[in-house]
Chains A and B, each alone.
Chain A
Amino acid sequence: NAGVTQTPKFQVLKTGQSMTLQCAQDMNHEYMSWYRQDPGMGLRLIHYSVGAGITDQGEVPNGYNVSRSTTEDFPLRLLSAAPSQTSVYFCASGGGQGFQFFGPGTRLTVL
């Protein structure tokens, strides 16, 4: 099993550009989530999903969209990137016991 995978590992965008961060898991987990990690701020929940077709907002959802068309994939879309979205993004998945497995992260810089 590959676990939770994320692409790309690094990305540089210009202000106003759009992009999609990819996340996939092969553990048949129902629960998936996106976090951003900024220095001194810990991990903040952006969006989460409890199954295909079901998504909801977390603590910091503004500027991000998600969809969950399959159990395996949970992409995060930035519609118009801003410098404030410079961060490390982690995707995670969980199978219902509560704990979650994290992907390796995507380091995003917005100029």
Chain B
Amino acid sequence: GENVEQHPSTLSVQEGDSAVIKCTYSDSASNYFPWYKQELGKRPQLIIDIRSNVGEKKDQRIAVTLNKTAKHFSLHITETQPEDSAVYFCAASWMDSSYKLIFGSGTRLLVRP
């Protein structure tokens, strides 16, 4: 089955700096890669996603890149702000009839003021 590895497990950056979180997946059939943000005590919320026919997607300060050959994808957050502090999860799925999402183990991002 699919396996998703996520690094680093913790990341501390200065406000205004960039943050990069990386994930690798094992199943080459995976074709959908969402990123979720989870604040303390809250539910995970989708922040951005990318499909396998696209190499990069941006939404304001957030971008995701996908390298299908290497089977890895990354989340980039620019101009980080204290409210970006949270746990971020990557996931992989193959959009057949199942839509199963397999998650990475999460990255705790701390943005220091």
Contact = CB atoms under 8 A, between A and B. Distances in A.
Contact of B105 (A41, A98, A105): A41
Given A43-B44, A43-B91, A94-B99, 12 more contacts: A35-B103, A42-B105, A43-B103, A48-B100, A56-B98, A58-B100, A96-B99, A98-B51, A98-B93, A98-B99, A102-B45, A105-B43
B53 interface: no
Interface string A63-94: 00000000000000000000000000010101
Contacts of B46: 99-101
B101 A45 contact: yes
A99 B34 contact: yes
A81 B98 CA distance: 28
B1 A59 contact: yes
B95 interface: yes
A98 B43 contact: no
B89 interface: yes
Interface string B78-113: 000000000001010101011111111110000000
**Majority secondary structure, A binding face:** strand
Contacts of A31: 99
B104 A48 contact: no
A44 to B, nearest CB: 7
Nearest to A101: B46
A98 B95 contact: yes
A48 B43 contact: no
A45 B102 contact: yes
Contacts of B97: 50
Interface in B1-36: 1, 6, 9, 32, 34, 36
Contacts of B49: 98-99
6 contacts: A40-B105, A43-B89, A59-B102, A98-B99, A99-B46, A102-B36
A102 B89 contact: no
Given A31-B99, A43-B89, A102 B104 contact: no
